[in-house]
Amino acid sequence: MATKRIGILTGGGDVPGLNSVIKAVVYRGSELDFEVTGIRRGWEGLTHVNIEDPQSRARYILPLNPANTRTIDRTGGTFLHTSRTNPAKMKAVPDFLKGKEFPRKENTKRGVTSEVYDVTSQVLKNLEALQLDNLIAIGGDDTLSYAARLDKEGFPVVCIPKTMDNDVRNTEYCIGFSTAITRATDAIERQRTTVGSHERVGIFRVFGRDAGHTALYTAYVSSIRCCIPEYKVNLEKLVELLLADKRTNPSNYCLLVLSEGAEWEGYKVREYGEPDAYGHRKKMSVAEDLSDEIKRRAGEETVVSDLTYDLRGGSPDFVDKLVATTYANMALDALTENKSGVMTAIVNGCFTLSEIPDPKLGPRRVDVPTMYNTDRYRPNYQAKNGLPIFLIRA
């Protein structure tokens, strides 16, 4: 008989490295005589599963073993699938639960108020029905905040942070970040040739609504300018800097990377479309807006390139494999020691177990004074002595 029965799920946007975590949990778990159960589609697997219905069970529950996870770490994404479901804030309860009573409350996100259901009681019931002792939840802020809730309700959870944006608090590193930079720099290196051939201003947009880490680190290793949500640049000065770069470059082009949430003084990012389950709406592309401004102000043609899904596609790079494997093993070590309510993390350059971050604090943002050169609109390269390897303090 298994010494422990562990559930594992992935929530939120996928990143390369999730499958490495899952495989490592299953393989090491099998050595520890743990039984590992995959919960499919993030928290939805625990809100929507109808345990009595074999079809529903097949849709949401997948017993894991070395045989069915052997090759998954060779590809990115999550073979358990993922969703953005938050059991504490559901707009509707699943059909088969219609009629059951769940606590309701008003939820306001980015100015939009709606009534949501908290189906935590059902989640706990399902965890019991599945005979799980513990849960490993892998995700970003949204996913982890519900993990903390569940742990407070008495069901022991260990969290593993992932997000391309690297903006989860209490850790300096989230799985997916290094691969995102790898992809971004690869794309910029490839597309540099077309920007140069046409003598353009090349504008690369990357994910990052509230935190500019992805843009900043791409700029840091590519020696180009960047704009991040944490600092509003002066548009006139930005254009001047870019044109000066272009003139200085014997190939007569220049490059800029900006976060989707970057802004300039006087600019307000426009949003459109319906908010998602967490109240997020799509934003108009600041890259296109900047392109128009550059044309208007300087008569310069641009190349606007949106490096979106490519940053989260493909297989993980070395750092993401290293951290994913280590986080997975740390999570199992924690469960073995009966620790829960913790998150695997890197703090001050070392692996550790952190508190699950308080969602009210919002994402961890770029520390502008140490990391962003507000004069040159590029990363700050000096005074790194003493900083942890990712130049970030958790």
In the range 21-80, which residues lie near a copy of itself by CB under 8 A?
23-24, 27-28, 41, 67, 70, 73-79
Judged by CB under 8 A, the chain residues 354 through 383 that form the site for a copy of itself are 381-383
267 binds a copy of itself (CB under 8 A): no
Q: Two tokens at 311?
A: 């940053």
Residues 6+ positions from 51 with CB-CB distance below 8 Å = 57, 126, 129, 130
Runs of H (alpha helix) within 198-305: 213-222, 235-248, 286-298
351 binds a copy of itself (CB under 8 A): yes
The contact mask relative to a copy of itself for 224-263 (x = CB under 8 A, - = no) is -------------------------xxxx-----------
Amino acid at 61: I
The contact mask relative to a copy of itself for 201-230 (x = CB under 8 A, - = no) is ----------------x--xx-x-------
Q: How far is CA 352 from CA 170, 192, 248, 349, in A?
A: 10, 39, 46, 9
Count CB neighbours of 72 within 10 A: 18
The rounded distance, in Å, linking the Cα atoms of 303 and 293 is 13
Which H or E element spans position 135?
strand 134-139
Q: Which of 314, 341, 359, 365 binds a copy of itself (CB under 8 A)?
A: 314
Q: Which of 117, 155, 173, 377 binds a copy of itself (CB under 8 A)?
A: 173
Q: Which of 122, 182, 302, 340 binds a copy of itself (CB under 8 A)?
A: 182
On whether the CB atoms of residues 390 and 319 are closer than 8 A, the answer is no
Span interacting with a copy of itself, options 147-155, 197-205, 237-245, 258-266, rule CB under 8 A: 197-205
165 is catalytic: yes
Tell the smallest beta-carbon distance from residue 258 to a copy of itself (Å): 16
385 binds a copy of itself (CB under 8 A): yes
Catalytic residue of the set 14, 165, 167, 320: 165
In the complex with a copy of itself, the residue whose CB is nearer, 131 or 249, is 249
The rounded distance, in Å, linking the Cα atoms of 258 and 284 is 13
The rounded distance, in Å, linking the Cα atoms of 211 and 167 is 6
The rounded distance, in Å, linking the Cα atoms of 112 and 60 is 31
Running DSSP on this structure, what letter comes out for residue 338? T
Q: Which of 56, 124, 199, 278 binds a copy of itself (CB under 8 A)?
A: 199
The rounded distance, in Å, linking the Cα atoms of 46 and 125 is 9
Judged by CB under 8 A, the chain residues 85 through 144 that form the site for a copy of itself are none
Q: How far is CA 203 from CA 23, 116, 188, 287, in A?
A: 38, 40, 10, 7
In the complex with a copy of itself, the residue whose CB is nearer, 26 or 127, is 26
Amino acid at 345: A
Q: Which of 318, 358, 361, 362 binds a copy of itself (CB under 8 A)?
A: 318
Span interacting with a copy of itself, options 46-54, 235-243, 261-269, 311-319, rule CB under 8 A: 311-319
Runs of H (alpha helix) within 108-176: 120-129, 141-152
Q: Which of 181, 201, 255, 343 binds a copy of itself (CB under 8 A)?
A: 181
Q: Which of 190, 247, 270, 296 binds a copy of itself (CB under 8 A)?
A: 190
Catalytic residues: 165
